[in-house]
Amino acid sequence: MGLFLAQLLTGLANAGALFMVASGLSLIFGVTRIVNFAHGSFYMLGAYVGYSLMQVLPGAVGFWGAIVLAGLIVGIIGALVEVLVLRQVYSAPELFQLVATFGVILVVQDLALMIWGPTDLLGPRAPGLEGIVRIMGEPVPQYDLALIAITPFVAIALWYLITRTRVGILVRAATQDREMVGALGVNQSLLFTGTFFLGCALAGLGGALQLPKGGADLLMDFTILAQVFVVVVIGGMGSLPGALLAAVLISVLNVFGVAYLPQSTLVLMYVVMVAVLMWRPFGLLGREEVAGELGQVGEPDRPVRPAGTAVRVLVAALLAVLAALPFWGGSFAVVLVTDILIFCLFAASLHFLLGQGGLVSFGHAAFFGGGAYVAALLVKYAGTPMELALILAPLGAGLVAIAIGWVALRATGVYFAMLTLAFAQLLWSLVFQWGDVTGGDDGLVGIWPARWASDNDVYFWLALVLSVGGILVLRHVAHAPFGYALRAARDNAPRAEAMGLDTKRIQHAAFAFAGMMAGVAGGLFVFSKGSVFPNEMEIARSFDALIVVFLGGVKTLSGGWVGGATFKGVEDLLVRFEYWRLALGLLIIVVVIVAPDGIVGGLRKLGERLGLLRPDEAPRGTAAPAAREPAE
Amino acid sequence: MTPILEARHLSRHFGALRAVDDVSFSLAPGELLALIGPNGAGKSTCFNMLMGQLRPTAGTVILDGTDITGKKPRHIWRMGVGRTFQITATYASMTVAENVQVALLSHHRRTFAFLPYATRLYRDEARALLDTVGMADQADRHAAILAYGDLKRLEIAMALAHAPKLLLMDEPTAGMAPRERVALMQLVADIVAERGVSVLFTEHDMDVVFAHAHRIMVLNRGQLIANGAVEAIRADPKVQEVYLGGGTLFSAERAHA
Amino acid sequence: MDRKTFLKGLVAASLAAATAAPAAAQDGEPIKIGEINHYKRMAAFAEPYKMGIEMAVEEINAEGGVLGRPLEFVFRDDQGEPGEAIRIAEELMTREETAMVTGSILSNVGLAIASLAGNREFVYLAAEPLADAVTWEQGNPWTFRLRASTYMQAAMLAEAAAETDAMTYATIAPNYAYGKDAVAAFKEVLTELKPGVEFVAEQWPALFNIDAGAEVQALERAKPDAIYNVTFGPDLAKFVREGNTRGLFEGRQVYGLLSGEPEYMEPLGAEAPEGWIVTGYPWYDFEGDANAEFVSAYRERWDDTPKIGSLVGYATALSIAAAIEKAGSTESDAIRQAFEGLAVDTPAGEITYREIDNQSTLGAWVGRTELRDGAGVMVDWSYKDGADYLPSDERVRELRPSE
């Protein structure tokens, strides 16, 4: 009984910092509809800033003062990010802002390294709260009790702010209906900045508060991020009570998981998340997404047209030049371009899902890595030849996509995205954990191409054929009836349903198709690297693809591969420099601000402005010839 | 003659609110039937039950002798029912012709085709449909930049794609200028006459209703209070009472006509 | 494929290739060595390692270089991604024309490069990666390893543990391959040395995401005589703090794999655990030997104290120089043959790259932790030669795929 109570208290203490970070993320999403990937970075900053302040400020007053100050300072940094970066891109397509927040992650990582150095910092202990209290004979750290006391205080303060003050009423109104608040004459930008300040301050506070239980290190931004996402989604995005409930639930479950299922530490959280979302697709206390709320923001996509002869000839010519790369590019160029081609196919497959289907997946790496693992496992355990493995990899990935899509497509919008993330993480933890079969994080090595393709040049051609072929197939499907049905479901689902289209089935098929194409890329990847590791399934890989798709341009047909090629190329250059993450992060932010339609969309607009391209307002056919046609 | 559509004792309750309460009516083939009533009378609720967007609390909907209660919109569509929406619902990322082509693709069960170019399929059919609604000259324009009235007509062309026997139109002229409304309803009346399609439509604008409807049903607070020919409805005191004494309304109609 | 980006890549890459050694007075083209590491992701570990290499390269070049040519390391960051590391290795071996490749701290990256080395037939010296698989299950003729592997270091601690009365053990290790290997090796060796021991709890916190309070409670619940710890980095800090606060370590012997390495010990400051038996690197107490010389030279060169990574980096460069000198050429196969059975003088003594499995005999220091001037140090330490903590040759042959 004593132990049970002590474990419960440990869980409640852990819930404190988690709740603060999660409530900040939830608040920001609720009001601004921005999924703030950089929230973990603000948490990390809170820890570092708090640490530095504690070195300067003496005693107990200094300690607690440092925590509060750290919250305020991080809040101000967050507000600055909102004003300088995010405000520029509010009219961009749905979820585009998350690209900017991804840039912020990179910038913060390098800045923190510059300022605080690479060594982990051990957090100071809370003055006067170093010891333990014995509760029913079990030791309970005093600071844990302090955390348990502080959390409700913060929660109540938040509750008061949201329900009892004018600002809070605006925040709540904005969470429910943004246009309405704008219509009421409220200064929306001030509200957004304020929300960012508050949300980031909470993250900073959480980071500083956990110092006595740990410290500050450069990996903590990503470590907390997955956990916070899980909490926010389980609680219901935009719901503060939900965040509190979920933080407590996850923390307490974790404690008992550690005690009674010690091997479960990786998986438990995601299993709970999937279970909760299957039961309540919008989280415990979340509100159902109103249709269209997260639909297409900004101007609608342009109609797609099959390429004309001139374009086809040009593309064929460029491909011929590319195919000749081994003769003019040198041996490393072949390796690099093989990598880029594979990544382009991966990005293009996600782009198809996102651009044509309007389905934002945060877990697309599940299919890339899934395809890679299917191929690797087949080679390893069944001695499958490369050719067959390359065929079975997409089939395996497609099957995984069918299974995941079956559940995830019950939800829509951000919840769909979060469910895909949860499944990808589940799959990742399975691969990571099941060392006997998958090799765990030691991976599967020695998966090399068949003899005829073992030369780098030959493998390049194989990758060229399959990747470019895959990209062309994806592109063609966008022009095919299926692509139109998919876009119909995205543009207006009720209309499509009232027109005989089974929108869920169409989306499910698209999800499986995109998963298959990612599987092709995954299969190619394994044989080009000779090995595969769980890294190919982790969140970072999914984010990579997501970022390049947005950077390339969601509402264009070529955005996926253009973004992929550009990003990979630039990255390969930048990593040669010391502070490449800073440079890459700033570059991403600049692109986001300069070209909110993505690279391709931005270039198209530029071309139209310069008169090089025909603008959309006068498409072919409005001119006289069409009108003159006999109406028969 | 068997009715094309029959509603029997349709009810839909939201908690204590009886949005639609025991409504029964039928629609004959080739009939242009109007469903009118003040705001909040339950017209849209009634409509959504007929098309399958909403499940009735009680009652049945019979289409051409088949019970379709609780079937999904896409199944009802397959059985030959087309629909237009109160707020125009078209596909903003496509051209005008492609909007119709998608309907045709669905009708011909080609939506899971991965090989052909969709824009080249059923293009002539689409053009013919657009011609019916007078939109052929705009076939290759981006649907997102159309004027509102043109969108309404596009929607009708889309709804006609599978040669429906019944068309459900939820406020087909909402948001249009008065002259456009008359033209649009004339178009609908012509389609009914030429193709023998039956139409059930809801409408706010009495001009439109009295000018074209063959028969009128009046819904108030979820209940059907009148159902009859145009003249009978015009004379019905209950209807006049619902429409604020009615006099002004009807005289206005006469002035327009 | 964006061709422009690629061309730009070629230009910038040739400008940007990072170089290390300012050549001394030799003639001739430098001999280039590729070094791939996680300089950003694991900066705290990679930096001292790099400094060790640079110092060795300076010394080697000051004494005439290798084969009369200056030695030069090309350092590249792989972001901790195996896939990236593979591409960089290809680039180093083709465009940079490096003689061989070394690097990586993470085992998975090391295994990926090793697999490539075996396939492309170039030499890879895995300096830091600890996974046993590098030289055993996944070993290949082209891959050599410098550091004492997980098995070897765990065996050293197991040997120390076997000498105590403790009969029940609890283990705590990060939930990934290294943690699992470390626990398995410790169990294997300890059970062999002392058949009666019992393992009463196994805790597997997520790497860098430990729930320290809960883990400590779970360990306490099992009431073990002794605890075997494999956590490191921020996990170790949290574990130690919670353990101290809750009195987990009172009256219990704790064995900490790598816990005594300055990389892990120093961040703990005055809260470093006392009385743990650990493997580590007691640079502060060397006197009058090659180790002491290295430490003072390092401190003079960098105005910083050495870490274990510094020593590994230094020994890496020495090993490579020795191998190429012995090979008499920069041909891959010659270097490979030179590495087999190669003896190198390092600050820690002479080590040999065993012919049987390409594993070096570099050992580790085992000692007891203590607080001195507000920092954790190792006392009563001794250097354990790696050669003594390897399984029998038959066992190694079983583990290693036939060549």
Chain A CB contacts of C91 under 8 Å are 332, 335-336
C247 and C233 fall within a common domain? yes
Contact C207, C174 (CB under 8 A): yes
- A197 in the same domain as A342: no
Query: Would you place residue A513 in the very low, low, confident or very high pLDDT band (cuts 50, 70, 90)?
Result: very high
State the average pLDDT over residues A439-468: 92
pLDDT tens, position by position, C54-68: 999 999 999 999 999
Nearest residue on chain A to C236, alpha-carbon basis? A214
User: Does residue A207 sit in the same domain as residue A350?
Assistant: no
Please give the sequence-ordered ranges of beta strands (E in DSSP) within chain B, or none if there are none. 5-14, 17-27, 32-36, 58-63, 66-67, 81-84, 166-170, 198-202, 215-220, 223-229
Helix (H) / strand (E) element for A484: namely helix A481-491
For residue A157, being part of any structural domain is answered with yes
Boundaries of domain holding C195: 151-284+364-393
pLDDT beyond 60 at A460? yes
Tell whether A607 is covered by a domain.
no
pLDDT digits 0-9 by tens, A176-205: 666 666 666 677 788 889 999 999 999 999
Do A375 and A518 belong to one domain? yes
Please answer yes or no on whether B74 and A620 come within 8 Å at the CB atom.
no
Could you tell me the two tokens for A306?
């099959």
Identify which of C349, C365, C361 has the alpha carbon closest to the alpha carbon of residue C258: C365
Contact at CB, A569 and C5, closer than 8 angstroms: yes
pLDDT in tens, A302-361: 888 888 889 899 999 999 999 999 999 888 899 999 999 999 999 999 999 998 998 999
User: Which chains pack against A, by 3+ Cβ pairs within 8 A?
Assistant: B, C
In a domain, C402, yes or no: no
| Residue A197 to chain C, least CA–CA distance (Å) | 27
The CATH number that applies at residue C40 is: 3.40.50.2300
Here the tokens at position C397 are 């042959």
pLDDT for residue C18: 40
Per the prediction, chain A carries an average pLDDT of 87
- Specify if A306 maps to a domain: no
Percent of chain A with pLDDT over 70: 93
pTM greater than the 0.95 cutoff: no
What pLDDT does C236 receive? Answer: 92
- The residue among A344, A350, A347 whose CA lies nearest residue A319 is A344
Is the pLDDT score of B255 beyond 60?
no
Exposure of A152 by Cβ count < 10 A (0-12 exposed, 13-18 middle, 19+ buried)? middle
Query: Does any domain span residue C398?
Result: no
Q: Which of A410-414, B19-23, C197-201 has the lowest average pLDDT?
A: A410-414
- The residue of chain C nearest to residue A211, with distances taken between CA atoms, is C238
Confidence at residue C208, expressed as pLDDT on a 0 to 100 scale:
84
* C259 residue type, one letter: S
Compute the average pLDDT of residues A471-487: 94
Name the residue of chain A whose CA is nearest to B115's CA.
A480
Distance from CA of B36 to the nearest CA of A (A): 23
Tell me, what's the pLDDT at A627? 32
The DSSP secondary-structure symbol of C343 reads E
> Residue A236: helix, strand or coil by DSSP?
coil
Average pLDDT over residues A272-298: 70
Task: Indicate whether A301 pLDDT > 60.
Answer: yes
Highest mean pLDDT among A87-101, A210-224, A455-469: A455-469
* Domain match, A345 and A483 both: yes
Q: Are residues C189 and C211 in the same domain?
A: yes
Using CA atoms, how far apart are residues A291 and A115, in angstroms rounded to an integer?
A: 45
Element (H, E) at C200: strand C198-203
C264 and C386 housed in the same domain: yes
Radius of gyration of chain A (CA): 26
Angle at A291 between CA A290 and CA A297, to 5 degrees: 105
pLDDT at C4 > cutoff 70:
no
Domain stop point among A549, A571, A595: A549
Q: Are residues A491 and B139, on separate chains, in Cβ contact within 8 Å?
A: no
Closest of B161, B115, B74 to residue A481, by C-alpha: B115
Query: Measured at the alpha carbon of residue A426, what is the angle toward residues A421 and A429, in degrees to the nearest 5?
Result: 125
Chain A residues within an 8 Å CB radius of B139: 621, 626
Q: pLDDT: is B47 or A187 the higher one? A: B47
Three-point CA angle B115, B120, B125, nearest 5°: 125
Of the three residues A549, A573, A598, the one that is the final residue of a domain is A549
Which of A549, A580, A605 delimits the end of a domain? A549
| A293 — pLDDT class (breaks 50, 70, 90) | very low
Does residue C14 fall inside a structural domain?
A: yes
Looking at the structure, do residues C272 and C125 belong to the same domain, yes or no?
A: no
- Is residue B246 pLDDT above 50, yes or no? no
What's residue A620's pLDDT?
36
User: C9 with C34, same domain?
Assistant: yes
Residue C401 belongs to a domain: no
Question: Looking at this predicted complex, what is its ipTM?
Answer: 0.90
Contact A139 C131 (CB under 8 A): no
Q: Is pLDDT at C10 greater than 50 in this prediction?
A: no
The model's confidence at residue A289, banded by pLDDT at 50, 70 and 90, is low
Residue A255 lies in a domain: no
Mean pLDDT of all residues in chain C?
90
Q: Is residue C399 part of a domain?
A: no
- Whether residues C253 and C303 share a domain: the answer is no
Give all domains of chain B, ordered by start, each with its CATH number. 1-80+165-257 (3.40.50.300), 90-163 (no CATH)
In the stretch 282-341 of chain C, residues with CB closer than 8 A to chain A read none
Residue A121 host element (H or E) = strand A121-122
* Residues of C whose CB is below 8 A from A441: 107-108, 176-177
Closest CA to A125 of A103, A96, A146, A100: A146
pLDDT tens, residue by residue, B233-245: 888 888 888 775 4
Q: What value does the mean pLDDT take over residues B45-72?
A: 90
Check residue A177 and give its pLDDT. Answer: 67
Which one of A352, A482, A484 would you mutate to disrupt binding with B, by most B Cβ within 10 Å of its Cβ? A484
Please name the residues between 51 and 90 in chain B that touch chain A, using a CB distance below 8 Å. Answer: 51, 53, 72-74, 77-78, 83, 85, 89-90
pLDDT of residue A331: 87
A359 lies in the same domain as A498: yes
Do C201 and C102 belong to one domain? no
Same-domain status, C209 and C356: no
Q: Which residues of chain A have a CB within 8 Å of the CB of C221?
A: 3, 259
Reported confidence tier of residue C170, pLDDT bands at 50, 70, 90: very high
Q: Which of A291-300, A527-536, B67-76, C271-280 has the lowest mean pLDDT?
A: A291-300
- With contacts defined as CB-CB under 8 Å, which chain C residues touch A106? none
The angle at the Cα of C304, spanning C302 to C307, to the nearest 5 degrees, equals 110
Does the pLDDT value for residue A466 go beyond 60?
yes
In whole angstroms, what is the distance from residue A11 CA to residue B73 CA?
48
> Which residues of chain C neighbour A120 with C-beta distances below 8 Å?
44, 233-234, 237, 267
pLDDT in tens, C104-116: 998 889 999 999 9
Residue A184 belongs to some domain of the structure: yes
Q: How far apart are CA B173 and CA B191, in angstroms?
A: 16
In a domain, A305, yes or no: no
The answer to whether the CB of A474 falls within 8 A of the CB of A348 is yes
The two structure tokens encoding residue B239: 């209807």
Judge if C239 and C269 occupy the same domain: yes
Total domains in chain C come to 2
- For chain A, what is the domain count? 2
Percentage of chain A modeled with pLDDT above 90: 50
Residue of B79, B91, B98, B167 to mutate, testing the A interface (most A Cβ within 10 Å of its Cβ): B91
Token digits for B163?
A: 């040669």
Of A303, A617, A627, the CB nearest to B95: A303
Residue A56 lies in a domain: yes
Tell whether C400 is covered by a domain. no
A162 in a domain, yes or no? yes
Is residue C234 domain-shared with residue C368, that is, in the same domain? yes
Better pLDDT: B195 or C225? C225
**What average pLDDT does the segment B115-124 reach?**
91
* pLDDT cut 90: percent of chain B above it: 44
The yes-or-no verdict on residue A290 having pLDDT over 90 is: no
A-chain residue closest to B143, CA distance: A303
Average pLDDT over residues C327-345: 95
Question: Range of A57's domain?
Answer: 2-220
Q: What is the mean pLDDT of residues A216-235?
A: 89
pLDDT tens-digit map of B200-245: 998 877 878 888 889 999 988 888 888 888 888 888 888 888 775 4
Pairwise CB contact (< 8 Å): B119 & A479: yes
pLDDT score for A384? 92
Among A214, A57, A200, residue whose Cα is nearest residue A147 = A214
- Is the same domain home to C226 and C374? yes
How close does chain B come to A536, measured CA to CA in Å?
29
Residue B240's CB: how many other CB atoms inside 10 A?
Answer: 16
